[in-house]
């Protein structure tokens, strides 16, 4: 279902450049069912990239320590449990058990300095802050 609403989740400057942060959102599905929808937001300069926080191979969240999404070099997303590495800008897995697969992208826009989720319907009854 099309949804043109943009949901602001944080200010652009809340995420330092070259860092990633997790958000625990609630998404309303096609059948009206509300489900937890954890996402990762990566900021790189003026660009932002969003992915569902779920590894394609095992379905678990990537940050085994809260908000620890990046590899030691800070240039890829990494599964903290098994070390799968994903390109920041595409979500493509370049190494690890799900090599060749991809994180599910989340559409983001920056509107008036806020990072916004678009193209989905969110339930807004819970706080949408990051969990730090
Ligand atoms: S859950 Fe897939 S690499 Fe860890």
pLDDT of residue 25: 96
Rg (CA), the chain: 14
Residue 131 C-beta-side C-alpha neighbours within 13 Å: 13
> Closest ligand 1 atom to the C-alpha of 83?
3
Centroid of ligand 1 to alpha carbon of 14 (angstroms): 27
Question: pTM for the complete prediction?
Answer: 0.90
Domain hosting residue 72, numbered range: 6-123
Burial 70-90 (b: 16+ CB within 10 A, else e): bbeeeebbbbbeeebbbebee
Is 129 within the bounds of a domain?
no
Is 119 within the bounds of a domain?
yes
- Of the candidates 28, 56, 45, the one whose C-alpha atom is nearest the C-alpha of residue 117 is 28
Is 131 within the bounds of a domain?
no
Is 128 within the bounds of a domain?
no
Is 24 within the bounds of a domain?
yes
CATH number of the domain that 57 lies in? Answer: 2.102.10.10
pLDDT of residue 125: 62
Centroid of ligand 1 to alpha carbon of 79 (angstroms): 5
Is 130 within the bounds of a domain?
no
> Closest ligand 1 atom to the C-alpha of 55?
2
Which of 55, 80, 103, when mutated, tests ligand 1's pocket best, judged by the most ligand atoms within 8 Å of its CB? 55
Domain total in the chain: 1
Is 62 within the bounds of a domain?
yes
pLDDT tens string for the chain (132 positions)? 556 789 999 999 999 999 999 999 999 998 999 999 999 999 999 999 999 999 998 889 999 889 999 999 999 999 999 999 999 999 999 999 999 999 999 999 999 999 999 999 999 765 545 454
């Amino acid at each position: 279902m099309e949804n043109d609403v943009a949901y602001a989740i944080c200010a652009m400057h809340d995420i330092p450049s070259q860092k990633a942060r997790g958000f625990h959102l609630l998404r309303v599905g096609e059948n009206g069912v509300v489900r937890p929808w954890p996402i990762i937001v990566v900021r790189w300069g003026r660009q932002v990239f969003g992915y569902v926080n779920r590894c394609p191979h095992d379905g678990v969240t990537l940050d085994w320590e809260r908000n620890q999404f990046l590899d030691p070099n800070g240039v890829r997303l990494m599964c903290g449990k098994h070390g799968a590495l994903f390109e920041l800008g595409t979500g493509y897995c370049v190494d690890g058990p799900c090599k060749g697969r991809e994180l599910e992208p989340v559409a983001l826009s920056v509107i008036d300095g806020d990072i916004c989720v678009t193209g989905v319907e969110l339930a807004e009854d819970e706080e949408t802050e990051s969990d730090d």
